[in-house]
Amino acid sequence: MKNQNVLVIGSGVAGMEASLVLADAGLKVHLVEKDSLIGGQTIKFEEVYPNMECATCMLAPKQQEVLQHDNITLYLLSEVKKTEGSLGEFKVQIEKKARYVSLINCIGCGACYDPCPVSLDNEFEEGMSQKKAIYVACPGALPNAPAIDPENCVRLNGKKKDCNACEEACGFDAIDFTEKDETVNLDVGAIIVATGFDQFDVSSLPEFGYGKHPNVYTAMEFERLYAQNGPTSGKLTLREDKPIKSAGIIHCMGREEKGYCSGVCCMYSMKFAHFIKDKAPEAKIHEFHTDLCIPGKSHQKFYDGLKNKIEFTRYEDIEVKGKNGNLEISYTNNGKKNSIKPDMVILSPAMVPSAGTENLAKILGISQDSMGFFSTQDQNLSPIDSEKEGIFVIGCAEGPKDIPESVSQAEAAAGRVLSFLQ
């Protein structure tokens, strides 16, 4: 392989790590991200298990490195549209959507948000807060510059052609309504796919009342609820702004439907219990699990530390009911029926392939496994090699896994690419 350019798709923790290792080696990395910010799902977490480290603190230096690295070209709001060729000589076409905000001129002061007349649900915050049509996903998002949502901006969607509220507020000449979507063609030697995961849609399981009862939360909603830079600035409350006195956390949402265990939900569910205990020590917390999947040298210690503070119940059957805003979890344990009435229910859903997986698999010419994740060739020989030489799949694009495993795979993909070049 002579071409020293590598395409990395996805800028989550895996994509960033692969990019950095390759860029440090002197290769030119083209990092494609479909969102307006980098960091993926991990930056949504206030703290990560088992050491309860602050995710922002550990990731921000990596994000800065990615943004400032001379060997990394970042394509935000971009997607891969076409690929052809093989190891050493891939041709790639990227569609880069207009941001309408110049990353060179913008200094991230935020003066443009307030004047914008459009308010929208902020999907980064799971719709729990509002954003403007010119927005950053959350405070501290990197790069620290907003983007304009062309579908909802009244100037760009034509509903109010003379609106220039943000342009007027900007002191840096950073807003450019004339920016156009671009097509970029690249020649690269290898491709690393790091497109992450989505959450299983729990509203497809009506017996858990998600979407019907306001105080039934998904795991990701709860992560943002707890986050200091989230919609409540880290204040743990019920939807009606009342403190949490009791909570039930239900594991394995979608495990049966999907046919696999996601490997991380037990641990993050226990992390939630730890969070609530931290902010509301009196709160009664009940974890409902099937098998506890807490593998590896340090995870069980986390469980042992919690065991006496919260209730763990192995369930065979479980459902959530609600009446007049009061929730009830009824469950069967060891053949016996029982129930509790918590203020809050948190559902821990399975990890599923990210939305664009099928399309990207077609574009790359690689296949998906029966669960919809990208399939890799041979788990033991090379767990990250796709069936096409020179295309690697890492992180949760390959299947559910935790952060350290994703990072290992990222470094491994970089290792495989660098081995080719030796």
Partner 1 sequence: MEKKFKPNIVGFLCNWCSYAGADLAGSSKTDVDSSLSVIRVMCSSRVNSNLVLSSLLWGSDGVLVAGCHPGDCHYEQGNYYARRRFALLKKITEVLNLEPDRIQLSWISASEGKRYAEVVNKFADDISKLGPNPITSNPKV
Partner 2 sequence: MNKNIGVYVCECGPNIPERIDIDKVVKELSSLNEVKTVKKHSLLCSNDGKKFLKEEIEKEELSHVVVAACSPKDHENTFMKVCEEAGMNPYLFQLVNIREQCAWMIPDKEEATSKALKYIKAGIHRVMYHDPLEKKELEIKVDVLVIGGGISGIEASLSLAGPNRKVHLVEKTDSLGGMAGKLSQILPHQGSKIKLVKEKIEQAKNNENINIYTSSEVKEVRGFLGNFEAVIQSNQENEEGKVEEIKAGAVVVATGFDLYDLKENPAYGYGENENIVSALEFEDMINSEKIELKNGKKPKSVALVHCAGRKEKGYCSKVCCLYNLKFAHYLKDNLPDVEVKELYMDLCLPHKQDQSYFDQAKEKGVEFIRMDEIVKTKKSGDKIEVEYKNNDKTDKLSVDMVVIAPAMIPSKDTSELAELMNLPLDKSGFFKELHEMLDPVATPMEGVYITGCALGPRNIPESMTQSHATSGKILSSLIPGRKVKPEVKVSEIKEDLCTGCQTCLSVCFYGAISYDPFKGVSVVNEAICRGCGSCVGSCPSGAIRSKHFTYYQLYQEVMEALR
Site residues (vs partner 1, CB under 8 A): 46, 51-58, 60-61, 108, 110, 139-140, 144, 227-229, 233-234
Report the partner that residue 229 touches, choosing among partner 2, partner 1, none (CB closer than 5 to 8 A by kind): partner 1
Least distance to partner 1 from the beta carbon of 44, Å?
11
Least distance to partner 2 from the beta carbon of 350, Å?
10
Report the partner that residue 38 touches, choosing among partner 1, partner 2, none (CB closer than 5 to 8 A by kind): none
Report the partner that residue 134 touches, choosing among partner 2, partner 1, none (CB closer than 5 to 8 A by kind): none
Alpha carbon dihedral 415, 264, 398, 59, in 10-degree steps, equals: -50
- Residue nearer to partner 1 on the CB measure, 267 or 345: 267
CA distances from 394 to 36, 42, 87, 270 (A): 21, 15, 17, 26
Least distance to partner 1 from the beta carbon of 106, Å?
13
Are the C-beta atoms of 194 and 15 separated by less than 8 Å? yes
Report the partner that residue 234 touches, choosing among partner 2, partner 1, none (CB closer than 5 to 8 A by kind): partner 1
Residues 228 and 366: their CA atoms lie apart, in Å, by: 40
CA distances from 314 to 288, 289, 321, 386, 415 (A): 6, 5, 19, 38, 42
Least distance to partner 1 from the beta carbon of 140, Å?
6
Residues 238 and 345: their CA atoms lie apart, in Å, by: 10
- Whether the bond between 50 and the residue before it is cis, its omega within 30 degrees of 0, is yes
What's the burial of 259, exposed, middle or buried (CB within 10 Å: 0-12/13-18/19+)? Answer: exposed
Give the side-chain half-sphere CA count within 13 A for 376.
23
Least distance to partner 1 from the beta carbon of 317, Å?
38
The angle at the Cα of 184, spanning 134 to 16, to the nearest 5 degrees, equals 70
- Residue nearer to partner 2 on the CB measure, 230 or 353: 353
Report the partner that residue 280 touches, choosing among partner 2, partner 1, none (CB closer than 5 to 8 A by kind): none
- Residue nearer to partner 2 on the CB measure, 32 or 393: 393
Report the partner that residue 54 touches, choosing among partner 1, partner 2, none (CB closer than 5 to 8 A by kind): partner 1
Report the partner that residue 1 touches, choosing among partner 1, partner 2, none (CB closer than 5 to 8 A by kind): none
Residues 285 and 274: their CA atoms lie apart, in Å, by: 9
- Residue nearer to partner 2 on the CB measure, 62 or 286: 62
- Whether the bond between 400 and the residue before it is cis, its omega within 30 degrees of 0, is no
Least distance to partner 1 from the beta carbon of 46, Å?
7
Residues 385 and 46: their CA atoms lie apart, in Å, by: 32
- Residue nearer to partner 1 on the CB measure, 29 or 43: 43
- Residue nearer to partner 1 on the CB measure, 226 or 331: 226
